[in-house]
Amino acid sequence: MIKRALLIGLLALSLSGCVVQSLNPFYTQDIVVAMPAEMKGEWVLNQIVDSKSKDDDVLFMFTEDNLLYQDKAGKYDLRTVYFKMGDQLFVDLVIQSEQPNNRTVRDTLSVHPHSLVKVVLDNNEVQLWWPNAGSLKWLAEEQKVKFFTGPEDVTMGLVLIGETEEIVRFLKNIKDDPDSFGEGAEKWSLKRSAK
Q: Which pLDDT tens digit goes with each residue over 131-174?
A: 877 776 766 666 677 676 655 544 456 777 788 898 888 888 77
Q: Residue 10: what pLDDT?
A: 33
Which amino acid appears at position 34 of this protein?
A
Architecture label for domain 11-192: Beta Barrel (2.40)
Q: Residue 173: what pLDDT?
A: 79
Question: Alpha helix (H) ranges present in the chain?
Answer: 2-11, 105-109, 133-142, 164-174, 178-181
Domain ranges, ordered by start, for the chain: 11-192
Q: Higher pLDDT residue, 53 or 185? A: 185
Distance (Å, whole) CA 83 – CA 182: 18
pTM over 0.85: no
Q: Residue 156: what pLDDT?
A: 53
